[in-house]
């Protein structure tokens, strides 16, 4: 049955000509048969095209009322993006003032940034802010193997936006196209005629948008890969405004957590500020998942409130994956504990206060892990910061060497991370090679410099851990017995040894 669905079209296309030849050979008149076949084929193609357009239009009718329940106040962690978007929307809100100043109305706004940062939410909030009709589509909806279908759907999308505005008695409409790189990718002059026609139709529709028309139409598009878009799409006069929607900072993360905590019973001792500290690099979607997973943990334990412990477990799950029920031998368990303590002790030495938890609980592909949280959000890194990160990555392997005389396969991921950071050092001109174009280096030069940097930092890591052997043994006993070690307890033990 599966093969028939996959190859049924090809079988039918091959069978029909054979059947016509056979009927003509047996004496049937050819002209009526050919005309009948052409009429049937045309009707089927027309029905399919209209059906696809109807399905696309029907799927977009529901979201037209959705923005009524979403505003910019309901979106956390994107203050800069919200300010830029609000200013760009003034031509729909303050029409008279814009006209007096002679400002050309915007035709398109492009939202770019990592997945899960709220680009779709911003588009919906823009529709409420401007009191506009809202029609949404995805770039994949316009990709078809049949010539002209994608272009037809683009025309139908703009028609649907104007129809929705008329039905809702709005004087403006917003068309939101998610993942626009699906139809707006760079044209390479190849054989992708259907993609080119769809993009050309979109460009034509955007050029046809006039500032004095009613309803006014604004296109908002979202993409994770702005660099892949065609230059004809991103030039001024098409997508005039490009707004970066980045991952939220600490204050933004706390705002998002509070928004998602409104409908959840939070315990009295819960600190969302602490959760925000421990979720550096999380997107808004991941933070929502943290709150949801914490509620699921509370449900499993039949608890009526979300506690800090549930939130900590939820962070681990979103970051590392679900807890696995793996049976490990005593020797393997001890090796994993040594490995993770190596990471943790080095981290606390070079970045005091950065360790949140050390755990032997298997999650995802990891048999154990150290959860770090930065003292402050950072977006620029010095040579010292990058070298410290390499020291932390090498801590697990060096700890195994000190206690067992050799390494294990558990260090593979750490070495991948370390070599990537070394590459960043070299490409940023912070190695002994100085400022050099990466492509000007031979493979031998890359390998030699990489080995020199890692060898020097491995010796530094060994020096840090050799001075903590007594603390290492004491922490190892605690970690194997308790399975988890908090950052506070780790720091207390290290401070006791130093004293």
What is the distance between the alpha carbons of residues 134 and 136, in angstroms, rounded to a whole number? Answer: 7
Cα 385 versus chain centre, distance: 26
Q: Which of 105, 363, 70 is nearest to 218 (CA)?
A: 105
Torsion angle of the four alpha carbons 222, 228, 231, 234, in this order, in degrees rounded to the nearest 10: 10
Catalytic residue (one of 141, 254, 340, 348):
340
What is the distance between the alpha carbons of residues 202 and 183, in angstroms, rounded to a whole number? Answer: 9
Enumerate residues 6+ apart whose C-beta is below 8 A from 142: 150, 153, 154, 182, 183, 198
Query: Please, which residues bridge with residue 337 across strands?
Result: none
Q: Give the ranges where 186-320 is alpha helix by DSSP (H).
A: 193-207, 231-234, 250-260, 272-277, 284-300, 308-320
What is the distance between the alpha carbons of residues 120 and 220, in angstroms, rounded to a whole number? Answer: 9
Residue 340: active-site member:
yes
Sign of CA dihedral 333, 480, 374, 394: negative
Sign of CA dihedral 440, 445, 451, 454: negative
Query: Would you please indicate which residues are annotated as catalytic (active-site) residues?
Result: 340
């Amino acid at each position: 049955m599966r093969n028939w669905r996959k190859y049924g079209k090809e079988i039918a296309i091959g069978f029909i000509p054979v059947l016509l030849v056979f009927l003509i050979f047996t004496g049937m008149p050819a002209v009526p048969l050919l005309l009948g076949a052409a009429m049937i084929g045309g009707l089927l193609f027309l029905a399919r095209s209209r059906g696809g357009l109807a399905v696309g239009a029907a799927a977009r009718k529901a979201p037209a009322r959705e923005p009524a329940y979403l505003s910019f106040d309901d979106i956390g962690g994107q203050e800069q993006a919200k300010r830029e978007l609000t200013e760009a929307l003034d031509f729909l809100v303050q029409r008279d003032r814009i006209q007096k100043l002679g400002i050309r109305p915007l035709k398109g706004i492009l939202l770019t940034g990592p997945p899960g940062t709220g680009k779709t939410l911003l588009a919906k909030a823009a529709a409420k802010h401007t009191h506009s009709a809202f029609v949404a589509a995805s770039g994949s909806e316009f990709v078809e193997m049949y010539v002209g279908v994608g272009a037809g759907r683009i025309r139908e999308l703009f028609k649907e936006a104007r129809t929705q505005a008329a039905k809702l008695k709005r004087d403006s409409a917003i068309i939101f196209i998610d993942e626009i790189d699906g139809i707006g990718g760079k044209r390479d002059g190849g054989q992708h005629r259907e993609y080119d026609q769809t993009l050309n139709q979109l460009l034509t529709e955007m050029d046809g948008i006039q500032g004095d028309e009613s309803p006014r139409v604004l296109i908002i598009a979202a993409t994770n890969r702005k660099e892949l878009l065609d230059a004809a799409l991103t030039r001024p006069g098409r997508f005039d405004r490009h707004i970066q929607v980045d991952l939220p900072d600490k204050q933004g993360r706390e705002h998002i957590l509070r928004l998602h905590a409104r409908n959840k019973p939070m315990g009295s001792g819960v600190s969302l500020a602490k959760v925000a500290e421990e979720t550096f690099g999380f997107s808004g979607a991941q933070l929502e998942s943290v709150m949801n997973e914490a509620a699921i943990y509370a449900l499993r334990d039949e608890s009526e409130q979300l506690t800090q412990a549930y939130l900590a477990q939820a962070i681990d799950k979103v970051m590392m994956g679900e807890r696995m029920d793996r049976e490990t031998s005593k020797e393997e368990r001890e090796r994993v504990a040594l490995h993770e303590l190596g990471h943790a002790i080095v981290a606390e030495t070079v970045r005091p206060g950065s360790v949140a938890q050390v755990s032997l609980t298997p999650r995802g592909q990891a048999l154990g892990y150290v959860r770090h949280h930065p003292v402050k959000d950072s977006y620029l890194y010095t040579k010292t910061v990058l070298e410290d990160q390499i020291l932390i990555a090498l801590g697990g392997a060096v700890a195994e060497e000190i206690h067992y005389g050799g390494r294990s396969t558990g260090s593979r991921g750490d070495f991948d991370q370390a070599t990537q950071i070394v590459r960043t050092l070299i490409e940023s001109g912070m190695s002994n090679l100085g400022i050099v174009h990466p492509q000007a280096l031979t493979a031998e030069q890359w390998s030699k410099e990489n080995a020199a940097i890692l060898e020097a930092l491995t010796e530094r890591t060994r020096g840090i851990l050799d001075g903590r052997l007594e603390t290492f043994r004491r922490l190892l006993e605690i970690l194997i017995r308790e399975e988890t070690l908090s950052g506070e307890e780790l720091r207390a033990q290290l401070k006791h040894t130093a004293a």
